């Protein structure tokens, strides 16, 4: 069973409230599960915005199954289902860029259109150090901000929910990124949140802007003014990674949503 099918199967039997936040470029539902109360500030947790990092979906699936908190959490385990299927060996007809990149399956980060979703958000779009201007495995910014359906639907959903915090899972590096031009009280608040989460799951908090642009975290911080972190799992190694490679991270992060909901009540 590939990751996309595993997500569908696990969510259908989870007992959580399940919705689709929109359709991927190839027409697949981007599924979201909700646990906890709907009243009060909500949290959004995402994973697998990059195809070759689809193993991170299993961290979020475990969290959905384990969650026992009261605070409301929206879990989106697989933001990029088309890219994940391509990475895992499935053909997706109707997208020529995929046919031209058969040799790049195992390094593929983009969606089916060759847009890197995590540089397609409206936050200094197109100004990243590694941005490229043509479709391909990674770093293509797209024709304009939110041109990719997956990033567009995720942004719209986030604006509709207006969460008090977002967390995104990537791999690799064993690091946590949290900073994107905040200042004053926001900077102090977000540094405190980032430090607590990094300590809880045993990753390194990395300070600084780091020449990022167009990422989901960047958008949440810059446009929505909410604290947001990116966690890079798997401390060392090289792509491709699979579920077995992330087993330790699955256990270390299983109860993180409860920790975050408690933490946000103290901020």
What 3 state SS string does 230-262 have? EEEECCCCCCCCCHHHHHHHHHHHCCHHHHHHH
Instruction: Report which secondary-structure segment, H or E, holds 18.
Output: strand 17-23
Please report the pLDDT score of residue 224 as a whole number: 97
Alpha-helix residue ranges (DSSP H) falling in the chain: 3-12, 57-66, 81-87, 96-99, 149-161, 184-201, 216-222, 247-253, 256-266
pLDDT of 19 reads 98
pLDDT number for residue 114: 98
For residue 175, list its beta bridge partners.
204, 232
C-alpha distances out from residue 34 to 61, 65, 119, 180, 240, Å: 12, 11, 26, 28, 30
**pLDDT score at 76:** 98
What pLDDT does residue 257 have?
98
Burial 184-197 (b: 16+ CB within 10 A, else e): eeeeeebbebbebb
What does the pLDDT read at residue 211? Answer: 85
Query: How far is Cα 81 from Cα 67, in angstroms, rounded to an integer?
Result: 23
Other beta carbons less than 10 A from residue 144's beta carbon: 10
- pLDDT confidence of residue 1: 83
Answer whether 121's CB lies under 8 Å from 146's CB.
yes
Tokens (6 digits) for 46: 């995402």
What is the rounded distance in angstroms from the CA atom of residue 259 to the CA atom of residue 253?
A: 10
Point out the residues of the chain with pLDDT beneath 70.
none
Which residue in this structure is represented by tokens 């810059």?
222
Q: How far apart are CA 181 and CA 22, in angstroms?
A: 30
5 and 77 Cβ atoms separated by less than 8 Å: no
Residue 225 DSSP class? -
């Amino acid at each position: 069973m590939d990751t996309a099918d595993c997500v569908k199967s696990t969510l259908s039997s989870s007992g959580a409230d399940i919705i689709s936040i929109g359709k991927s470029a190839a027409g697949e539902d981007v599924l979201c599960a909700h646990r906890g109360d709907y009243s009060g500030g909500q949290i959004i947790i995402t994973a697998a915005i990059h195809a070759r990092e689809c193993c991170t979906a299993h961290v979020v699936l475990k969290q959905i199954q384990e969650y026992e908190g009261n605070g409301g959490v929206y879990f989106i385990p697989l933001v990029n289902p088309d890219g994940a299927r391509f990475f895992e060996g499935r053909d997706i007809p109707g997208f020529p860029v995929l046919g031209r990149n058969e040799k790049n399956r195992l390094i593929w980060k983009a969606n089916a259109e060759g847009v890197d979703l995590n540089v397609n958000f409206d936050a200094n779009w197109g100004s990243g150090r590694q941005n490229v201007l043509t479709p391909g495995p990674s770093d293509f910014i797209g024709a304009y901000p939110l041109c990719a359906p997956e990033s567009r639907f995720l942004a719209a959903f986030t604006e509709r929910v207006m969460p008090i915090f977002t967390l995104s899972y990537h791999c690799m590096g064993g690091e946590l990124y949290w900073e994107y031009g905040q200042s004053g009280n926001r900077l102090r608040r977000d540094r405190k949140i980032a430090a607590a989460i990094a300590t809880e799951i045993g990753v390194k908090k990395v300070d600084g802007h780091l020449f990022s642009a167009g990422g989901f975290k960047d958008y949440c911080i810059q446009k929505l003014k909410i604290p947001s972190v990116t966690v890079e799992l798997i401390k060392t190694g090289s792509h491709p990674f699979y579920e077995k490679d992330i087993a330790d991270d699955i256990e270390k992060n299983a109860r993180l949503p409860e920790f975050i909901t408690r933490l946000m009540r103290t901020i």
